Amino acid sequence: MNWNGNAVSDFMPHFWDGLLVTLQVLVLGSLISFVLGLVWALLMRLPSRWVTWPVGAVTEFVRNTPLLVQLFFLFYVLPEWGLTFSPLTTGVFAIGLHYSTYTMQVYRAGIEAVPAGQWEAATALNLPLARTWTAVILPQAIRRVVPALGNYVISMLKDTPLLMAITVLEMLGEARLFSQANFQFTEPLTVIGIAFIVVSYLASLLLRALERRLVH
């Protein structure tokens, strides 16, 4: 096997385009999954079964359905119902929705781990319910679950190549097009493999720094 440095040089402009798309999907998808997962977790704590049952059914369905199937459904089926979005928008929403059902369970575990005395203290101080959640419960719960949330960020990064199936040109999509056009497969695939390792490592460092900041 001969390594072609020229192929790497030719691929790099495409690589940067793909990396930008990958990072956009990762950041926006993470934000959606974190926010929506917290919404699911809070809704599941409501006393009304008219809320908890539909939320539980939807999240279980999404969590137990492959992400690739969800991508195809959102991209190819929804337009038949008059709902059309760009491939990138569809991919970001699909990843965010899919992983929100996992982050929901992380939030639930964090909330349940808050000592009962914290709830009792908030009640004794006559704090409003909204204040109890925002000032007492959620800060403690989120601090406990940052490492688990970080693991899902890495998982989302590794799932971004699935978006190639709906024509999103992230890193693997760019590498595939370049390889097919130039009959050079080793170099672009090696470059994106290294890029995934580097991005994963940098993301883990940022999450560890955030965890230390929250703990202290």
DSSP string, 92-143: HHHHHHHHHHHHHHHHHHHHHHS-HHHHHHHHHTT--HHHIIIIIIHHHHHH
Q: What's the CA gap between 136 and 41, in Å, rounded?
A: 16
Number of H helices, E strands in the chain: 9, 0
Average pLDDT value over all residues in the chain: 90
For 171, half-sphere exposure in the C-beta direction (CA atoms, 13 angstrom radius) is 26
Q: Looking at residue 41, what is its pLDDT?
A: 94
* Three-state SS at 76: helix
Q: Which amino acid is at 208?
A: R
At which residue do the structure tokens 């959640």 appear? Answer: 133
Q: What's the CA gap between 162 and 159, in Å, rounded?
A: 6
Instruction: Check: CB of residue 101 under 8 Å from CB of residue 32.
Output: no
- Residue range 92-116, pLDDT digits in tens: 999 999 999 999 999 999 988 888 8
- Residue range 30-68, pLDDT digits in tens: 999 999 999 999 999 888 889 899 999 999 999 999 999
- Residue range 137-195, pLDDT digits in tens: 888 888 888 888 888 999 999 999 999 999 999 999 999 999 988 888 889 999 999 99
Q: Give the number of other Cβ atoms within 10 Å of residue 197's Cβ.
A: 10
At which residue do the structure tokens 């119902």 appear? Answer: 81
Question: What's the pTM?
Answer: 0.90
Of residues 6 and 157, the one with the higher pLDDT is: 157
For residue 21, give both structure tokens.
């798309």
Q: What's the CA gap between 149 and 152, in Å, rounded?
A: 5
**Is the pLDDT at 1 greater than 80, yes or no?**
no
Q: Looking at residue 215, what is its pLDDT?
A: 64
Q: What's the CA gap between 192 and 185, in Å, rounded?
A: 11
Domain annotation for the chain: domains and CATH numbers = 19-215 (1.10.3720.10)
